[in-house]
């Protein structure tokens, strides 16, 4: 049994304060963030993670000479909390942002053959920054482009604090605002499926409005894209672990929490195989289903609401060619089942040939398809998109399946997402699925970790660290 009853070192002339301790359960981005924030405030922190590594849903593994990410991850310049996190773990230089939003979009559906369009921004104020790109976007007709502009302005006018937005679906709203099926496919879903993990018809208008307002209609640079140029594990496991160690956090991996309870003095007991940890505060930073199972009775008014938060899958298709077949770091595709393609060669450590990862969101129809079926489907599509693949040898083909990659951003999900505070004093929730206002992203995870730490620190009477991420006003 571990019972941390030491005292904080007193400042000269000050009375000795009892040390405060916290256990953070779950070593994903939410848990790592909460642990760092609490430790930075002088709390003695233990972080417990069931798996052999930190990073949760954003991790890497070894496959022969390749270091493979379980799924391609990107973030946007407007992800200010995740950018704070990268800074905090000294990883910013390893996951740089584009200087300026630039997304090549290849369309295979054109009678004249494949056609390249670009979503690019100009150095102009919002919304003019996207005006030229939209006006010349070849994948929409002139009339569709004009209607997209009008819908974007209507979206900008929505009040994100209006709870009725969450009761409507984005697809119906787009249709009511004159958006054709083609405009939805070639523009709104191109961005929305990748960020929300749902097509417009399955997505809450509130979450979609949040994404588009914050990413495309707030600051001109908000949608500039960043991604790790190293394996995700380098950031979310190795560097995170280093930062936690330096902050004095005791981190235990392969340590699955089986129950949590409180005693009559309000101290928490956290049960892991072979040990009971005691603490003043507990942050439960695990997925919603695990949180449901671990929460003590009465901690939420209706704990079963957590089971109402659905999940949505993401599939990644990995292809290693014997030669270079793609000359850009990534692109998005239309008129093919392929959604987004990323060049993973340098990040994976591959020395010869090229390694592409296809990121397939909202993959409900394919998540259980056998590898052979996916191979038959995707290799010919890559040949259509990238002529250089036609004479190339496929050295390796494999898939990674994340069946519960994100919470499903369905209409009505907003009222099911609890905040950081529970009814049990000293017990806090974190996780991308909690009420951050963001879809299930790294940004949401980090924000939730900060919120949980903030709530815990205020209850423990400790000031928040001055360099902790500050929440800004919503866009
Ligand atoms: C394939 C894929 C692609 C994605 N793409 C993007 C993207 O491009 N951009 C983006 O921003 N986001 C993306 N996401 C989403 C992002 O990865 C997640 O939202 C985020 O990582 C969630 O972090 P979290 O800490 O909330 O939860 P998790 O990462 O789920 O962490 C929870 C942790 O708790 C641990 N745990 C559970 N139960 C216990 C227990 N009883 N005891 C101890 N530990 C326990 C788990 O092992 C896990 O490590 C993607 C996700 C996937 C899967």
- The Cα 441–Cα 126 span in angstroms is 24
Least confident of 2-6, 233-237, 361-365: 2-6
> Mind listing the pLDDT tens digit for each residue in 305-321?
999 999 999 999 999 99
Question: Which ligand 1 atom lies nearest to the CA of residue 440?
Answer: 19
CA distances 105 to 193, 330, 386, 474, Å, are: 15, 10, 13, 30
- Strand 259-262 relative to strand 268-272: parallel, antiparallel, unpaired? antiparallel
Handedness of CA 125, 163, 209, 221 (dihedral sign): positive
Question: Which ligand 1 atom lies nearest to the CA of residue 255?
Answer: 43
Q: For the chain, what are the domain ranges?
A: 21-57+231-309+411-460, 123-219
Pocket test residue of 51, 58, 417 for ligand 1, highest count of atoms within 8 A of CB: 58
- Strand 44-48 relative to strand 250-252: parallel, antiparallel, unpaired? parallel
Question: Which ligand 1 atom lies nearest to the CA of residue 48?
Answer: 43
Closest CA to 233 of 406, 361, 399, 95: 95
pLDDT for 264 equals: 86
**Residue with the nearest Cα to atom 51 of ligand 1?**
405
Q: Which two tokens stand for residue 283?
A: 């942050």
Q: What is the DSSP letter of 2?
A: B
pLDDT for 13 equals: 58
Return the half-sphere exposure (C-beta side, CA atoms, 13 A cut-off) of residue 274. 3
Q: How confident is the model at residue 19 (pLDDT cuts 50, 70, 90)?
A: confident
> Which CATH number is 21-57+231-309+411-460 given?
3.50.50.60
pLDDT for 111 equals: 72
pLDDT for 386 beyond 60: yes
**Residue with the nearest Cα to atom 36 of ligand 1?**
26
According to DSSP H, which parts of 138-275 are helical? 142-156, 170-176, 181-183, 189-196, 205-216, 232-233, 240-247
pLDDT for 91 beyond 90: yes
Return the half-sphere exposure (C-beta side, CA atoms, 13 A cut-off) of residue 245. 7
Contacts of 425 (CB under 8 A, 6+ apart): 266, 459
The answer to whether the beta carbons of residues 15 and 430 sit under 8 Å apart is no
CA distances 73 to 127, 228, 332, 407, Å, are: 27, 8, 14, 16
**Residue with the nearest Cα to atom 14 of ligand 1?**
441
Q: How confident is the model at residue 12 (pLDDT cuts 50, 70, 90)?
A: low
> Mind listing the pLDDT tens digit for each residue in 322-354?
999 999 999 999 999 999 999 999 999 999 999
The per-residue pLDDT of the chain, averaged, comes to: 95
pLDDT for 474 equals: 45
The answer to whether the beta carbons of residues 21 and 4 sit under 8 Å apart is yes
CA of 178 to the centre of ligand 1 (A): 36
CA of 401 to the centre of ligand 1 (A): 14
> Mind listing the pLDDT tens digit for each residue in 353-362?
999 999 999 9
> Mind listing the pLDDT tens digit for each residue in 240-288?
999 999 999 999 999 999 999 999 888 999 999 999 999 999 999 999 9
CA of 78 to the centre of ligand 1 (A): 20
pLDDT for 375 equals: 98
The answer to whether the beta carbons of residues 105 and 119 sit under 8 Å apart is yes
**Termini Cα distance of the chain:** 47
Q: What one-character-per-residue DSSP string does 238-266 give?
A: IIHHHHHHHHT-EEESS----EEEE-TTS
Mean pLDDT, rounded, for 152-165? 95
Distance of CA 176 to the CA centre of its chain: 30
Residue 135: burial class (beta carbons within 10 Å; 0-12, 13-18, 19+): exposed
**Residue with the nearest Cα to atom 21 of ligand 1?**
57
CA of 126 to the centre of ligand 1 (A): 33
Q: What percent of the chain is predicted at pLDDT more than 90?
A: 92
pLDDT for 4 equals: 46
Closest CA to 171 of 125, 146, 208: 208
Pocket test residue of 273, 366, 441 for ligand 1, highest count of atoms within 8 A of CB: 441
- Predicted structure pTM score: 0.96
Return the half-sphere exposure (C-beta side, CA atoms, 13 A cut-off) of residue 238. 10
Q: Which residue has the higher pLDDT, 133 or 18?
A: 133
Mean pLDDT, rounded, for 381-405? 97
pLDDT for 16 equals: 57
Mean pLDDT, rounded, for 170-195? 97
The answer to whether the beta carbons of residues 82 and 75 sit under 8 Å apart is yes
Pocket test residue of 23, 24, 57, 296 for ligand 1, highest count of atoms within 8 A of CB: 57
Within a 10 A sphere around the Cβ of 54, how many other Cβ atoms?
Answer: 26
Q: How confident is the model at residue 456 (pLDDT cuts 50, 70, 90)?
A: very high
pLDDT for 67 equals: 98
Within a 10 A sphere around the Cβ of 115, how many other Cβ atoms?
Answer: 16
pLDDT for 40 beyond 70: yes
- Residue that has been written with the tokens 């394919």 in this structure: 366
């Amino acid at each position: 049994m571990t019972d941390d009853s030491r005292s904080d070192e007193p400042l000269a002339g000050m009375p000795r304060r009892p040390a405060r301790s916290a256990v953070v359960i779950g070593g994903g981005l939410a848990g790592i963030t909460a642990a760092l924030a609490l430790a930075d405030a002088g709390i003695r922190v233990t972080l417990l993670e069931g798996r052999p590594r930190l990073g949760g849903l954003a991790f890497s593994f070894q496959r022969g000479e390749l270091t493979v990410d379980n799924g391609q991850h990107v973030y946007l310049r407007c992800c200010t909390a995740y950018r704070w996190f990268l800074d905090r773990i000294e990883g910013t230089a390893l996951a740089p942002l584009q200087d300026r939003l630039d997304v090549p979009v290849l369309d295979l559906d054109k009678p004249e053959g494949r056609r390249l369009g670009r979503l690019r921004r100009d150095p102009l104020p919002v919304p003019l920054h996207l005006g030229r790109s939209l006006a010349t976007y070849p994948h929409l007709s002139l009339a569709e482009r004009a209607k997209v502009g009008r819908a974007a302005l209507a979206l900008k006018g929505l009040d994100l604090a209006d709870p009725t937005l969450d009761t409507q679906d984005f697809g119906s709203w787009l249709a009511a605002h004159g958006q054709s099926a083609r405009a939805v496919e070639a523009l709104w879903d191109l961005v929305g499926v990748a960020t929300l993990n749902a097509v417009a018809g399955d997505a809450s208008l509130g979450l979609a409005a949040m994404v588009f307002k914050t990413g495309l209609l707030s600051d001109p640079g908000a949608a500039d894209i960043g991604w790790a140029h190293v394996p995700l594990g380098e950031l979310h496991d190795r560097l995170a672990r280093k930062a936690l160690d330096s902050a004095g956090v005791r981190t235990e991996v392969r340590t699955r929490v089986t129950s949590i309870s409180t005693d009559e003095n309000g101290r928490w007991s956290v049960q892991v195989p072979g040990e009971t940890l005691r603490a003043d505060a507990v942050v439960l930073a695990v997925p919603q289903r695990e949180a449901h199972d671990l929460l003590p009775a009465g901690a939420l008014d209706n704990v079963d609401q957590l089971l109402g938060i659905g999940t949505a899958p993401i599939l990644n298709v990995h292809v290693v060619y014997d030669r270079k077949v793609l000359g850009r770091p990534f692109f998005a595709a239309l008129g093919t089942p392929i959604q987004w393609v990323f060049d993973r060669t340098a990040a994976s450590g591959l020395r010869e040939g090229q390694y592409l990862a296809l990121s397939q969101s909202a993959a409900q129809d394919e998540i259980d398809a056998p590898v052979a079926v996916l191979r038959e489907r995707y290799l010919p599509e890559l040949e259509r998109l990238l002529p250089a693949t036609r004479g190339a040898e496929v050295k390796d083909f494999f898939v990674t399946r994340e069946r519960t990659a994100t919470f499903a951003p369905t209409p009505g999900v907003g009222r099911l997402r609890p905040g950081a505070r529970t009814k049990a004093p000293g017990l806090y929730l974190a996780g991308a699925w909690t009420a951050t206002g963001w879809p299930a992203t790294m940004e949401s995870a980090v924000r939730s970790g900060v919120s949980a730490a903030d709530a815990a620190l205020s209850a423990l009477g400790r000031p928040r660290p001055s360099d902790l991420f500050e929440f800004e006003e919503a866009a």
